[in-house]
C-alpha cells in the first residue's frame, strides 16, 4: 500500500479539477498546444486588436487562447494573465466552451503579437525591453 503525502494529495486535487481544452475537429497542432488565459475584458480587447486570432474558449470570466507549445519561452506574461502548458486549464462549472474558431486548420494565436498586445493592455514593459544594469557598470558604482 502506497502512502500519499500532503503535497501529492494537493497535486492530485488540482489535476482532478483540470481539463484539456478540446480542439475542434479538423484542427492540426504540429507545434503542440499551450493556452494563455486572461480576464474576459482583456480577451475582447485582444480580439479587437489582433488581425489573426486562433481558437478562443470562455470559462466564466476567463478566456483562453491557444498558442504553440513553448510560447512561454523568454516571455514573462503580465499579471493577471495565466499560462497553461498543454492547454490544461482549471475546470469551471460548465467547462470551457469554444467561442471563436479561426478559418483554416491551425488553432493558434501568434504568441508574440499576443504577448505584446497583453503587455500594452496591462501597461507592462515586455521582458526583453526591461532595462537591466550592465554587470560591469553596476560593480563600478
Predicted confidence band of residue 130 (pLDDT cuts 50, 70, 90): confident
Cell of 2: 502506497
pLDDT tens digits, 25-42: 999 999 999 999 999 999
Torsion of CA 77, 81, 82, 85, to 10 degrees: -50
Phi and psi (nearest 5°) for 58?
A: -110, 135
Residue 17: the pLDDT is 80
CA distance 115 to 26: 26
Residue 9: the pLDDT is 44
pLDDT tens digits, 42-98: 999 999 999 999 999 999 899 999 999 999 988 899 999 999 999 999 986 678 999
Cell of 57: 474558449
pTM of the predicted structure, to 2 decimals:
0.81
Amino acid at each position: 500500500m502506497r502512502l500519499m503525502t500532503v503535497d501529492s494529495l494537493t497535486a492530485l486535487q488540482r489535476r482532478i479539477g483540470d481539463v484539456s481544452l478540446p480542439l475542434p475537429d479538423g484542427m492540426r497542432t504540429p507545434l503542440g498546444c499551450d493556452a494563455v488565459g486572461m480576464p474576459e475584458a482583456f480577451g475582447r480587447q485582444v480580439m479587437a486588436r489582433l488581425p489573426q486570432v486562433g481558437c478562443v474558449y470562455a470559462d466564466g470570466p476567463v478566456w483562453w487562447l491557444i498558442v504553440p507549445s513553448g510560447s512561454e519561452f523568454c516571455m514573462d506574461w503580465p499579471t493577471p494573465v495565466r499560462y497553461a502548458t498543454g492547454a490544461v486549464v482549471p475546470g469551471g462549472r460548465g467547462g470551457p466552451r469554444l467561442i471563436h474558431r479561426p478559418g483554416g486548420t491551425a488553432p493558434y494565436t501568434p504568441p508574440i503579437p499576443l504577448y505584446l498586445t497583453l503587455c500594452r493592455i496591462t501597461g507592462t514593459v515586455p521582458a526583453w525591453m526591461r532595462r537591466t544594469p550592465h554587470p560591469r557598470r553596476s560593480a563600478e558604482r
